Amino acid sequence: MFHSHLARLRGSTFFGDGLIGETPMMKLETYRDLRDAAERAAQARKECQLEIFAALEAIDPELVNDGLELMAGAGAREVLAHYLTESIPALGGATPYEMLASGERARVIQLFGAIRHGVYL
């Protein structure tokens, strides 16, 4: 649906001269559509992160439990699922999943250890 909406916008002056000829209400509606699309994309990303996280938990429960101990509290699974997809400076800008995929599980464990000891990287 969002793509069809963008196609409609591309046919308008929105991407050219900036909504020339459109009323403020039409512009407001477009902003709301974009906000709604962004919210749906964010929700889809969260769901995808949790699916990937569940697969990781199935193959490496020790690593997941170690990470969950760090993120203790409400929403720990969601926080860790998101964290594992983020670029981490201490990993040279790689994500923990990239480290795992390149055979560097020990670096992820070291990262968790550093965080546990108060070294926030």
Structure confidence by residue, pLDDT tens digits, 56-97? 999 999 999 999 999 888 899 999 999 999 999 999 999 999
Whether 93 contacts 87, CB under 8 Å: yes
**Residue 36 and residue 105: Cα distance in Å, rounded?**
38
The total of other beta-carbon atoms located within 10 Å of residue 108's CB is 23
**Residue 45 and residue 39: Cα distance in Å, rounded?**
10
Mean pLDDT of the chain: 86
Q: Is this prediction's pTM over 0.85?
A: no
Of residues 113, 95, 117, 114, the one with CA closest to residue 104: 95
Of residues 108, 119, 63, 66, the one with CA closest to residue 86: 108
Residue 20: predicted pLDDT = 56
**Residue 57 and residue 114: Cα distance in Å, rounded?**
21
Most confident region among 24-33, 49-58, 71-80 by mean pLDDT: 49-58
